Structure 1
Amino acid sequence: MPTQSTIALVTGGNAGIGYFVAEQLAAAGAAVVLGSRDPAKAASAIGAIQARVPGARVTAVRLDLADLASLKSSADALDVPRLDVAVLNAGVLLEGPRRRETPAGHELTFGTNHLGHFALTALLWPRLSRGRVVTTGSFTARSAHLDLDDLQSTRAFEPKRAYERAKLAQMLFGFELARRLDSAGSRALSVVVHPGGALDDLTPSRPPVHSRTTGQLLRAVPAGLVLQGKDAGAWPSVHAALDPSIRNGQLWGPRFFGLRGKPRLEMPKGPLADSATGRRLWELSAELTGVDPDFVTAPVTGLR
């Protein structure tokens, strides 16, 4: 359990799994900052959390991970003396076949889910250097392939594949960060998690953030044998954020087949265990974002 001074940032904390991560952290006594693109949605999420958690300490900071140029302002606006936990949760999955780009010209899924979090971590490092970075990946990343020669999906774009690759990139980032922390002798921790299979129809209502009808729940009952709601999908992130036994470089996911249940420790396999790709991805991410690749040992205060 956290002390009263624990401070946590949750990117994408206004909706989906991120909302439940924020709610559960607040219920455990942490002071939570929601990182959100939309101030109105952030305000709704804060209200929903405070309605369920008496005395919850929840604030928000505007955060658009797709816009690299805006991230320094967001980091500067984070009115906390330090961060004990950063849960890198926010992400996009595009609908429709059209490839889209961020203001900096990066493919939107990769640019938001991975590059935005990479740059944000560097910007926050002076306040995170003794805390925990919890990187949220996806069960689907296990079967993804990261093409280092085409990270931006310029040769062939398909939304689901781009999402899987971006999530794999996030997880490789988390493991590479852990290796760099070990090499630096740092007290900080980098932990990677995934939520398993989390469905809206199995997720309890949190109006106005999320509403579920009885009909939706009944239709989803068969799926509930192997999948779970987004409230349960938040458990690995909350466990990684708070449990004192967590160790650097670990991977946590749901207990049953990696799809549902309480968190369990997993062994990184396949593409997740590819340290050479993780190291090269780090170097390329630093080039694409303008971040100092050595920010773990030489903290930066902004993008170059």
Structure 2
Amino acid sequence: MSSTSSAPPWNVRRLPRAVGSTFLVTGGNAGIGYFIAEQLSEAGATVVLGSRNPARAEAATALIRARVAGARVRSVRLDLADLGSLRTAVKSLEVERLDAVVHNAGVALDDPPRRETEDGHELMFGTNHLGHFALTHWLMPLLSAAPAARVVTMGSFAAKSERLDLDDLQSWHDFRPKRTYGRSKLAQMYFGLELDRRLRAAGSTVMSTVVHPGGALDSLTPSRPPVHVRTIGARLGAAPAALLVQGKHAGAWPAVRAVLDPAVQGGRLWGPRVFGLRGKPRCEPVWNHLADTSVAARLWDASCDLTGIDPAAVPG
């Protein structure tokens, strides 16, 4: 039975109020992350944009303030490719509690060569998965201080056709950018589901859920200069694609619902309603390969070894 079976219809343009709540959105300065931040700001929440680029973060915060009357939005410097910097970044939040974090930031390479993070991990796996894995550890005291905090992990439809190679998580032997990206997002999704299982086992008040944006194209995304500018030519050229996919403003909807909807439960997967590619957000069946808890547990152990920390344990 769907977790929303007894809930009123979700309206993406009439969000429940979230005044008094504080949310962190990683990669909130651009793309889907920007629209997540804008929409959560419209709900009245305090929104913190985590970004490795201060100039872009400032442009995004200024734009949200211009578009949303009374917006409570600010930014912190956050570099997921540098694990050693994350504890300091969390301290810079300067909050007593955090009601939700949206793990949205990501790196996608289009071409070789293979690149590495500050810590020597393959760049996409190290940033998209290990960075958020480690960040969750340092955020856990703030999340645990909230009455019912949420960890929302942004996966990708590209992960649906991928499978993890647990013997080559870092793509040492066969680096292909698109495949490595899809696997890094798949690792994030395994993490989000496994995190919820471990939090439930520990009796935590924090829950974890996973979302994906479906097909979200720049050419179908409304302009938000200077963060995003869509030309008339791009809009016209993308018109046929709108039958199957959508813009990044709509790609934000599953994450926003996962943060705000009181009916959302942990350990679930949320995505667009129409073929998983476009439309309003809904709870969908967890993909068969994502339901493999043995793979999730092995990935968790490997990630603990690679980062030296455990996100399900509150740091002392």
Residues 17 and 233 of structure 1 are in contact (CA less than 8 Å); yes or no, is this contact kept in structure 2? yes
Tell me, in whole angstroms, the C-alpha distance in 1 between the residues paired with 2:118 and 2:227. 28
The secondary structure found in structure 1 opposite 2:18 is coil
The verdict on how the C-alpha distance between 1:189 and 1:2 changes in structure 2, with shifts beyond 3 A counting, is farther
- Post-superposition shift, 1:95? 2.6
Pick aligned residue for 1:248 from 253, 258, 266? 266
**Contact 1:203–1:212 (CA under 8 A) maintained in structure 2:** yes
Which amino acid counterpart does residue 149 of structure 2 have in structure 1?
G
Is residue 2:210 matched to residue 1:182? no
Which residue of structure 2 aligns with residue 284 of structure 1? 302
1:270 Cα offset (Å): 2.3
| SS of residue in 2 equivalent to 1:221 | helix
Which of residues 198, 211, 225 is equivalent to 2:243? 225
Task: Determine which of 209, 214, 220 is the counterpart of 1:191.
Answer: 209
1:124 aligns with 2:139: yes
Residue in structure 2 matched with residue 212 of structure 1 by the alignment: 230
Q: Could you list the per-position Cα deviations for residues 212-260 of structure 1 after superposition, in whole angstroms to 9, with x for gaps in the alignment? A: 0111101000000000000000000000000000111111000000000
User: How many angstroms apart in 2 are the aligned matches of 1:82 and 1:71?
Assistant: 17
Q: Distance in 2 between matches of 1:187 and 1:81?
A: 16
The structural deviation recorded for 1:9 is 0.1
Q: CA RMSD in A?
A: 0.9
| Distance in 1, Cα, partners of 2:287 & 2:279 | 20
Which residue in 2 is equivalent to 1:49?
64
Q: Distance in 2 between matches of 1:220 and 1:65?
A: 32
Q: Confirm or deny that 1:32 pairs with 2:47.
A: yes
Match of 1:265 in 2: 283
Contact kept, 8 Å, 2:61 with 2:73, in 1: the verdict is yes
Counterparts of residues 88-167 of structure 1 (less than 5 Å): 88-129=103-144, 130-167=148-185
Aligned to 1:22: 37
1:83 to 2:98 alignment: yes
Structure 2 Cα separation of the partners of residues 41 and 197 of structure 1: 24
Summarize deviations over 1:268-302 as a string: whole Å, max 9, x none.
122211111101111110110010x3x43x4115x
Residue 25 of structure 2 is aligned with which of 10, 18, 23?
Answer: 10
Contact 2:18 2:260 in 1 (8 A): no
Query: Quick check: 1:15–1:45 contact (8 Å CA) kept in 2?
Result: yes
Aligned amino acid, residue 139 of structure 1: F
Task: Tell me if the contact between 1:142 and 1:270 (Cα under 8 Å) persists in the aligned partners.
Answer: no
Q: Secondary structure at the match of 1:168?
A: helix
SS in 1 for 2:254: helix
How many pairs align? 298
- In 2, distance between residues paired with 1:56 and 1:262? 25
- Structure 1 runs (4+) deviating above 4 angstroms are none
Tell me by how many angstroms 1:76 deviates: 1.1
Task: Give, in whole Å, the separation in 1 of the partners of 2:256 and 2:177.
Answer: 28
Q: Percent of aligned pairs with the same residue? A: 63
**Aligned residue in 1 for 2:10:** none
> Secondary structure at 2:69's aligned position in 1?
coil
| 1:107–1:152 CA contact under 8 A, matched in 2 | yes
2:66 aligns to what SS in structure 1? helix
**SS of residue matched to 1:99:** coil
Under a length normalisation based on structure 2, what TM-score does the superposition of the two structures give? 0.93
1:201 aligns with 2:219: yes
2:299 partner letter: L
C-alpha deviations, 1:72-122, integer Å up to 9, x for none?
111111111110010000001013210001111100000000000000000
What displacement does 1:4 show?
1.6
Post-superposition offset of 1:2: 4.0
Distance 1:4 1:81 in 2: 16
Matched position secondary structure for 2:198: helix
Unaligned runs of 5+ in 2: 1-15
State the distance in 1 between where 2:43 and 2:101 align.
Answer: 16
8 Å Cα contact 1:144/1:271 also seen in 2: no
1:21·1:234 contact (CA, 8 Å) conserved in 2? yes
